[in-house]
Amino acid sequence: MESPTPVRILTVCTGNICRSPVAERLLQAGLDQVLPGAFQVRSAGTRAMVGDPIQPLSADIIRMYGGTERGFAARQLTPKILGETDIVLTMTSRHRGEVLQLDASLLKRTFTIREFARMLEALEERDNAADPAEK
């Protein structure tokens, strides 16, 4: 039986050397603990420092929370990358706007990271309230 295609998540910031790589690596590490192989998380920058490694402080944060910065190189956000993405998580609303300028078809699948966190919290609250007998 063929394994399902992983959900492809893209995190986006400006330079792709600080915020989006931290989000990429920590989100991937966390999701792998829950559903190994079910998600593929990558990152890109709207004005990337192409080829640069993750900034040292960001690398420290990634390691502190169980991720790894190994193999990372910053990359520029492109329509091709967006075309290979199921969900886009941006660091700011400005980044969200830049993503949508490149590919407006992603409107319903592009969120700031805060918007996405709020949606997950709302779903969790709804699930907890749905069946109090299961608690």
Residue 74 is part of a domain; what is its CATH number? Answer: 3.40.50.2300
Q: Which candidate in 13, 25, 96, 103 is catalytic? A: 13
pLDDT exceeds cutoff 70 at 31 = yes
The number of residues making up the chain comes to: 135
Look over the chain and give the mean of its residue pLDDT values, rounded to a whole number.
93
Q: Which domain holds residue 116?
A: 7-128
Catalytic residue status for 18: no
Residue 67 lies inside a defined structural domain of this protein: yes
Catalytic residue status for 127: yes
Report the b/e string of 5-20 with b at 16+ CB within 10 A.
eeeebbbbbbbbbbbb
Residue 91 lies inside a defined structural domain of this protein: yes
Q: Amino acid identity, residue 53?
A: P
Please give the model's pTM, rounded to 2 decimal places: 0.89
Q: Which candidate in 60, 70, 94, 127 is catalytic? A: 127
Catalytic residue status for 60: no
Express each pLDDT in 61-115 by its tens digit: 999 998 999 999 999 999 999 999 999 999 999 999 999 999 999 999 999 999 9
Torsion of CA 45, 99, 119, 29, to 10 degrees: -30
| Inter-CA distances, 75 with 48, 72, 118, Å | 6, 9, 28
Residues 6+ apart with CB under 8 A from 101: none
Domains: count for the chain = 1
Residue 1 lies inside a defined structural domain of this protein: no
Check residues 125 and 44 and name the one with the higher pLDDT: 44
Q: Which candidate in 18, 19, 25, 103 is catalytic? A: 19
Residue 64 lies inside a defined structural domain of this protein: yes
Residue 52 lies inside a defined structural domain of this protein: yes
